[in-house]
Chains A and B, each alone.
Chain A
Amino acid sequence: MMRLELVKRPQRSMLFSALSPFIAFGLTIIAGAILFALLGVNPLTAFEIYFIEPISQVWQLHELAIKAAPLILIAVGLSVCYKANIWNIGAEGQFILGGIFGSIIPVLFPGFEGPLVLPLMLLFGMVGGAFYAAIPALLKTRFGTNEILTSLMLVYVAQLFLDWLVRGPWRDPQGHGFPQTIQFNDSAVLPELMPDAGRANWGFVFALVAAVLIWVLMSRLLKGFEVRVLGSSPRAGRFAGFGLSRMVFFAFLLSGALAGLAGISEVSGAIGQLQPVISPGYGFTAIIVAFLGRLNPLGIVAAGLVLALTYLGGEAVQSALGISDKVARVFQGMLLFFVLGCDTLIHYRIRLVGMALAKGAAKLDAAPKLKEAR
């Protein structure tokens, strides 16, 4: 009988900090190979269809950017929350509300056209997402209500609200009864970056800009320092004079606004109207993106592209091999598991010990004893 034993490292390991996402990705590939083999598919063929073919042509790279943009936008916002030890897991709902708020102008005032429309829509989208994120923030700061559960419950409410809107008051009267709003007019559609090459729109640029800005915030500004202190030791944060309540609002509003921006970008750029379902779970997948990117905005850009590929790959294996596109979710889930597991290596060294003889393990690598609780 063997047992795992963790030995704390004196300093965080820089090596494993850098390596851990790659190890996790490698393990996911291995587990994925086993999965495909179990499904009766040659893993090599499957991987080619899953990971290579979807990005072998330029227009496909554009599709990748379309999928990656919302993931990155949401995940950089979430990374600030999670760094602050605030658990916003309702980004999916904030994404939807962003989509709804941003659609107010093109749906209710379809005659309003011009260069002002788009900026206003984007602004409304951010306000919508931030507003929806403010609810769990308010409940947490006012009543101490657990934000994990409230933010998540609000996702269901948002989905039902959108469903009601597009089937009810906002339904396109000329839509033959389909549950959808009118098609947005041209000035309400997010332009494509290179219309000749593919469909990718400005949403991807927003994502990259947001990532860079959040990176500056977190690594260069006092506010970022505040986020990190409050997240890693709240009591030290209070001693520093940083307010936890203010931080809860800051993190929720920021991540909500970014999720809202992602929502309206998706609606206005990729879809062009509101439908009952506007997200294939971007808000949840972004959680994986945030962790896979090690909560670092620049890492998140890379992670967002990888996870976008799992979506495309899922669609590809479904059409080519007849495997459920849920395989994408499985890949995403496994990836997150392996990332979390590998992150242990950054702070700990893992020893395997026999249950019976634990003695004589030659060299230990550990230092500070765990702080004793009172």
Chain B
Amino acid sequence: MDITVNILLTIATAATPLLIAAIGELVVERSGVLNLGVEGMMIMGAVGGFGAGYLTGSPWIGLLAAIAMGAVFSLLFAVMTLSLATNQVATGLSLTLLGLGLSGMMGTSFVGQPGERLPNLYIPVLTDIPVVGRLLFGQDPIFYISIALTAAVMWFLFKTRTGLTLRSIGDSHTSAHALGIKVIRYRYLAVIFGGACAGLAGGHLSLVYTPQWVENMTAGRGWIALALVVFASWRPWRVLAGAYIFGAVWIGQLHAQAFGIPVPSQLLSSLPYLATVVVLVLISRNKRLTMMNTPASLGQPFVPDR
């Protein structure tokens, strides 16, 4: 029983950063912007979060720093693609490349330093309930944030007028502009929200998942988050499901390696990436689903006509 709980807990820990980053990117893409810089924003969040936590001794300050780092870094992307109408694919790529370099440079002095882990929740009595106690009331704070965030984004997108406006911009920025909707302003806010989420996801890696700084520690999670959004056909609850499936794959291969299953460890390590490819193929085979759900203006630059 305990093993099961432990495995479920590690799956949740592995899924949380994927979920947060993907939910952020989902909002960005719903507004019609494709930010391929998730990996870069995440790694910046990771280094910023670890650095601030390490220097101040408070992982909570680290958490805030991770969010701020991701948001500020995404602002770079926003200025480029929204104000200067640059190619979103190329700009997102360069954001990732820059993030990987910058984080490596900023993190040189943190390598090998022990970090402070964000403490898990502990509520007397509740957390001590067998089995469900630790699952429901004993996880790290970012886990709860991730679930709340998913619910909030669902409510925001489909129940509020502002969410409707955001979706309408993703469907047609020309129509939205003609109606007087501030397309660029909405998109700025969406991109910054996505950046903050990616930063938080990175902070989870360096403050909870493995509380230390390792170069390139995101290991492609930002890209998997991007794939999750496609897999989820832009629906928040499906992102949640997808993140946990990938969390399970990730943890599964780690456990398999630990158990010494007679398969090359490299093959096991490549499973999350291969799974991403397989999942993308499966989802894209359903043409109608993708076509009906893809925000129609995704990736198109928009320059208002004045």
Contacts and interface: CB of A to CB of B under 8 A. Distances in A.
Direct A–B contact in complex, judged by CB atoms less than 8 Å apart: yes
Contact of A337 (B36, B80, B266): B80
A135 B191 CA distance: 32
A148 B36 contact: yes
Interface string B68-100: 000000001000100111110111011101111
Contacts of B93: 89, 287, 336
B145 interface: no
A144 interface: yes
B226 A336 contact: no
A156 B97 contact: no
Contacts of A331: 101
B274 interface: yes
Contacts of A329: 97-98, 100-102, 104-105
A148 to B, nearest CB: 7
B161 interface: no
A42 interface: no
Given A330-B102, A336-B94, A372 B284 contact: no
Contacts of B164: none
B97 A332 contact: yes
Interface in B244-295: 264, 266-267, 269-270, 273-274, 276-277, 280-281, 284-285, 287, 290
Given A153-B274, A334-B98, A337-B98, A326 B104 contact: yes
Interface stretch (A49-57, A63-71, A161-169): A161-169
A330 B277 contact: no
A327 B284 CA distance: 39
Contact of B305 (A156, A164, A323, A370): A370
A336 B104 contact: no
Contact of A145 (B84, B97, B273, B280): B280
Given A144-B284, A341-B86, A372-B174, A156 B98 contact: no
Interface in A340-362: 340-341, 343-344, 348, 350, 358
Contacts of B230: 146, 149
Contact of A144 (B227, B274, B287): B287
Nearest to B184: A3
Q: How large is the interface on A (under 10, 10 to 19, 20 to 34, 35 or more residues)?
A: 35 or more
Contact of A348 (B85, B100, B290): B85
Given A4-B83, A8-B303, A149-B280, A157 B174 contact: no
- 3 closest A-B pairs (Cβ-Cβ)? A329-B101, A333-B98, A326-B104
Interface of A: 4-6, 8, 82, 87, 89, 139, 143-146, 148-150, 152-154, 156-157, 160-161, 163-164, 168, 284-285, 287-288, 291, 323-324, 326-334, 336-337, 340-341, 343-344, 348, 350, 358, 369-370, 372-373
Given A291-B94, A329-B97, 17 more contacts: A139-B284, A145-B277, A149-B227, A150-B277, A152-B223, A161-B266, A287-B97, A288-B94, A324-B104, A331-B101, A332-B97, A333-B95, A341-B84, A344-B84, A344-B85, A350-B84, A373-B174
Interface of B: 36, 76, 80, 83-87, 89-91, 93-95, 97-102, 104-105, 108, 172, 174-175, 219-220, 223, 226-227, 230, 264, 266-267, 269-270, 273-274, 276-277, 280-281, 284-285, 287, 290, 303, 305-306
14 contacts: A144-B285, A144-B290, A149-B223, A153-B274, A160-B267, A160-B269, A164-B264, A164-B266, A324-B105, A326-B102, A326-B104, A329-B104, A334-B98, A340-B84
